[in-house]
Structure 1
Amino acid sequence: MPLPPPQGSGAPATGAPAKPGFFSRGGGWQDVVGGIADALAGQPIYQTAQRDQRQRAFELEQARLQNAQREQDHNWQWQNWVQQQIWKQAHPDDNFTQYITAAGIDPRSAEGQNLYRQRAESMAAPPLVAVDGFDAAGNPTKTFMPRTGVNADPQPAPSAPAVGMIRNGYRFQGGDPKDRNNWVPVGGAPSGGGATFR
């Protein structure tokens, strides 16, 4: 999956500008005439202007070279980043990605992203799950169970006791197990309800 490089030339120009001839525009004759004019005027007007012009040309050339170097560095960084991304895709650094890849699941697919999300939710969840329930006497209880995995049901359905089941000296007659009237004493248990349910 190579990505296109950013726009730009990338490399600085290597050709040097051609020097003008002596009698052409910008040639050496201007320096000779300017030097004579400065001598007659008694002030270095032409030489100062020429020095300033050469300084500006030098600064412009330095700025051009710096921009070209910056663009070349940017292109190199971009190409380096692309190569790193390609390498990371080919060499995942975590075991989970290696496992789902070995199972034939593309980590970038919807199924792979769903597995990553489930794993993240499982890692963020507490290690224990509180399950609400009721004992035989109808008292509310809270049981802490270890989380068993990514797809674990945090609230298992409470199982109702079977009709005729005996618990703590009481037989279940059916109906709502939380209702005390659905439990009758068996054996020598007093009918006053002195037994406790656990």
Structure 2
Amino acid sequence: MPKISERQRESRRQQILEAALGCFSENGFHQTGMADIVQRSGMSHGAVYGYFESKDDIIEALADDRHRSEAILNSAAEQAEDPIEGLRALVRAYAHGLTDPAGEPRRRVGVHGWAEALRSPRVHARVVEGIDIPRSMIAGLVAQAQRMGRLPDDLGADAIARSFIAVFQGFVLQVAWGEEIDVAACVAVIDRMLQGLAQGDRQARPGGSA
């Protein structure tokens, strides 16, 4: 068998993942078999199994790809000198992803993944890992803002981070359902929430206005 270059190998791997993404997006995990992915990829069974031994391997690879793309968004927010602006930058970056029509299959697969995590420990671990990374980063920005007196310190940084994650997950679900959402207006609401947290801290201090 002739050897292929690393670039060709990666191209074929992505070809398989794109085929799997389309199948999972349309039919979910349970209704998709390896035979469906092979057929959609246009490759032979042997070629596909040469890259992935099982459907779960493909699901993990898709999760890894998503985590890598999200890491770029997270790093941009971490580099902000002002933690509040870092939070705002993160909100806008993820919100932009919700407006990208090309991201629809990945959003749908993400929702399928949440459901699959209820029954598969392997998928559950990957889903939680993907959430823990931005959650920890958000908590770090919040804690930094609290140390600077920019946000109230009577609220747990992790609790605030989980609340922001929950809001974003709700947006993902609504968009995956096909609902028309004014994402810019929703971002403005989250901005107001941040302002409200900051103002609440000032009002709680001696001499703060009611």
TM-score of the two chains, using structure 2 as the length reference: 0.23
Kindly name which structure, 1 or 2, has the bigger radius of gyration based on alpha carbons: 1
Where relative contact order (Cα < 8 A, 6+ residues apart) is larger, the structure is 2
Greater helix share, structure number: 2
Greater strand share, structure number: 1
TM-score of the two chains, using structure 1 as the length reference: 0.24
